[in-house]
Structure 1
Amino acid sequence: MVVPENKIHVALAFDQNFIIPFYVLITSIFKNNKENKIVLHAIAAGVDTREREKITRFVQQNQSQIFFYELDKAKVETLVLPDNVHFSAATYYRLFFPSLVPQEIKKLLYIDTDTVVVGNLAELYRVNVDAVPAAAALDAKISLRPDLGINTAGHYFNAGVMLINTELWKSQHILEKALQYLHDFPERIEWADQDALNALLQNNIVKVSNRFNITFYDIPKYLTRQEFDAFIQDKVIIHYTTQNKPWLMTCTNRLRYIYHDYLRLSPYATQQKYVDFKLNKPDVFKYLKVRLKEFLIDTTGIFRARSITAAV
């Protein structure tokens, strides 16, 4: 599969509620991939023409391109949506990208919009997927899923970052099979289409290092802020999985500061860090508790010392 050396096709799906995280993500892509030609392919559900024009101008200012695609909402409205506050119907859009983009695009890097890119995407884009429909990193939280046919560890992957071979995705009818699986087995679905894809692709996918998809459960608990700066040096994509989104004031993800760094570089630089900031007692108490613990880790290492003692 031959692609131009520095051209990277990136697929992103979002709705109006994720406009700011979308801007943060593409800002991080542009800042860390200046040597690459970035071509964005977006499904922007509910995003009006004026906002799309603003997005296009920002993308062009960064010497990149963006193409928008329309998807009939009816295609996903009837699909089961897990009882999870950080899921929306937009999670299913990734299934459709290979059938929407131009036929000449053979490789497509899909990235969830609750992420930031902190490295060069070229290494991931060069992964060989000639013989499989996709490549992805293992999920650090989920090991076994017997209900999906996954009975041994090391097979369940996180679909938030996937390098897709568009030709094989289409010729092997992954979209149609995933939709059918979601329709036939709604009782098995905990993580939306990710579960369906795992049931279908567990022996038909290339596993890549989690450097390309660092999730909440990959992050060490007791590093100091300085140590976290070192921790991310060889990482490429940070994925803010779980309810710990960096734009929520009760977020406990220690890498949320990286999201905020790129927020300050984005067109929404003046946006407050936390979209849900409220001065109610429970939230303020949790906020202060989390921040105090982090302060103690950064300045005294007290919690790390306790964790080491407990391990011994």
Structure 2
Amino acid sequence: MYHLVFSADENYIKYTSVLITSIILNTDKNKKIQDFDKNSNIKNEKYFFHILSNFVSDKTREKLLNLQNALNEIFPCKIIIHIKNDEDFENFPTSGAAHSLKLPYYRLRLSSIFDESIKKCLYLDSDMLCMCDIRELFSINLKDKIVGVVGDPGSKKSKIKFKENDKKKIFYFDENYFNSGLLLINLEEYKKHSIEQKCEELASKCYYIKAADQDLLNATIHYKHQLKLDFAYNFSTIAFCYVICKDENKNRLNYTRNEFNKSIKNPKILHYGEKPWRFLKSYFDYKGTNINEYWWDMAIKTPIFNEELLKSKKNITNHLLCAGLGRELFNAALKFNFPKIKFLIKNTSNDEKYMQRAESIEDDFFGICCILGIAISYARSHKKNLFSVYLKALKMIYNFKKYHFRSRI
């Protein structure tokens, strides 16, 4: 038996269904777990998909049951819903990734859904796409490690601020900071080390936290209790644009450039930053394929939910607006054109024109334009000044030119 856990609210379940479908369709029915792990004693090869949510309507429950029945024809599986309440997480701060709801924290209590007979589970974020036989991960022997994790590609200069005995303290993260989008959990060790209790205890003391559950898990699971997995198993898609490896800066991705180059040639699980249901186009992979097409190809194959997903696809234009704005910012930043940057932030009158221009942006350039355009959108909604946008843009443009993967392989 293979137990997989997801967190999804009512709206996100349709995206979770695509991930679940990708896991089923990438399972090789001609292979057994023993082909991945000769010492495995698993006989009942069946997937149990656990969805943690705050609410699931009767209509969506029926859809999930029909999805289960359709996928069960391909490979044995069962979908199980677990309802949690935000009130159960009142000690957890509402900030950063958990600014609007407490759903990101739900995974911190996933062990409560399993009895003692279940020794291992795999948590996956719903904005992922499986491109391998997921049994590869279940065949990994965690031994006495608490969790198998993949390093996060972002900066490791973040921190948690908390109070203890009326004194302000700071927990600084280091190069071992991992991304909580994928967690291969040794449930025995997870419970033995009281990880959930430690997370809640720390959360109750926090007055500043940015990445919600991810920060808490990094603060409570020491590096010696982690098994570092290949970056390919949680391939953050921004890395298709650019990535800074540890042999270039120790505070960034904790993999060497050589290790990264192997992963980018064969990513096993994609973790989307620019969500395919909001961006029809973003980055292009090693083969020159728009990575969002992989997700939409799977959405078409997803039983029950495919019609709903494809209907929404017709109205998606966010990728064009962001890329169009981003190209304007790229040019303005390099020319120190501050009036233009200010205009991009304050004025939306030319957005339609920028969207039209985005159609002609070269593939390799499209991703960085999207990121820069997102910076403009953020500045508009959060009333940021032009100099903060300018400095951020310069940094991103510099990193793109120096670390874009096609120039590093």
TM-score w.r.t. length of structure 2: 0.62
Alignment of 1:31-110 (within 5 A): 31-35=25-29, 37-63=46-72, 64-83=77-96, 88-110=101-123
Q: 1:247 maps to which residue?
A: 277
Measured in 2, the distance between the counterparts of 1:275 and 1:156 equals: 37
Contact 1:250 1:287 in 2 (8 A): no
Measured in 1, the distance between the counterparts of 2:299 and 2:279 equals: 15
The range that moved more, 254-263 or 70-79, is 70-79
Gaps of 5+ in 2: 30-44, 161-169, 244-261, 285-290, 322-347, 367-396
Whether 2:189 is the aligned partner of 1:168: answer yes
Measured in 2, the distance between the counterparts of 1:250 and 1:234 equals: 22
Q: 1:295 to 1:137 in 2, by over 3 A?
A: closer
Whether 2:298 is the aligned partner of 1:262: answer yes
Q: CA deviation at 1:256?
A: 1.7
Q: CA deviation at 1:294?
A: 3.6
In structure 1, the residue corresponding to 2:178 is in which secondary structure? coil
Residues 61-85 of structure 1 deviation map (CA, whole Å, 9 limit, x = unaligned): 2121122223233112552233459
Choose which of 5, 11, 17 in structure 2 pairs with 1:23. 17
Whether 2:293 is the aligned partner of 1:293: answer no
Whether 2:268 is the aligned partner of 1:236: answer yes
Residues 268-302 of structure 1 deviation map (CA, whole Å, 9 limit, x = unaligned): 2433226665898666555445543244769xxxx
In structure 1, the residue corresponding to 2:2 is in which secondary structure? strand
Query: Which one scores higher on RCO, CA 8 angstroms, separation ≥ 6?
Result: 1
Contact 1:249 1:274 in 2 (8 A): no
The one-letter amino acid of 1:201's match is I
Measured in 1, the distance between the counterparts of 2:270 and 2:213 equals: 21
In structure 2, the residue corresponding to 1:104 is in which secondary structure? coil
Q: Which has more radius of gyration?
A: 2
Q: CA deviation at 1:190?
A: 0.7
Q: 1:273 maps to which residue?
A: 313
Contact 2:283 2:364 in 1 (8 A): no
In structure 1, the residue corresponding to 2:47 is in which secondary structure? strand
Q: CA deviation at 1:25?
A: 1.1
Alignment of 1:190-201 (within 5 A): 190-201=210-221
Gaps of 5+ in 1: 1-6, 223-229
Q: 1:83 to 1:73 in 2, by over 3 A?
A: closer
Measured in 2, the distance between the counterparts of 1:34 and 1:283 equals: 46
The one-letter amino acid of 1:29's match is I
Measured in 1, the distance between the counterparts of 2:263 and 2:353 equals: 29
Count of aligned residue pairs for this structure pair: 289
Alignment of 1:138-153 (within 5 A): 138-145=151-158, 147=160, 149-150=171-172, 152-153=174-175
Choose which of 136, 149, 154 in structure 2 pairs with 1:123. 136
TM-score w.r.t. length of structure 1: 0.80
Q: 1:199 to 1:65 in 2, by over 3 A?
A: same
The one-letter amino acid of 1:55's match is L
State the identity %.
24
Residues 235-276 of structure 1 deviation map (CA, whole Å, 9 limit, x = unaligned): 2211113xx222114863442222211112123243322666
Measured in 2, the distance between the counterparts of 1:289 and 1:102 equals: 56
Q: 1:3 maps to which residue?
A: none
In structure 1, the residue corresponding to 2:312 is in which secondary structure? coil
Q: CA deviation at 1:234?
A: 2.2
Q: 1:151 to 1:52 in 2, by over 3 A?
A: closer
Whether 2:156 is the aligned partner of 1:156: answer no
Contact 2:130 2:268 in 1 (8 A): yes
Measured in 1, the distance between the counterparts of 2:300 and 2:277 equals: 13
Contact 1:136 1:163 in 2 (8 A): yes
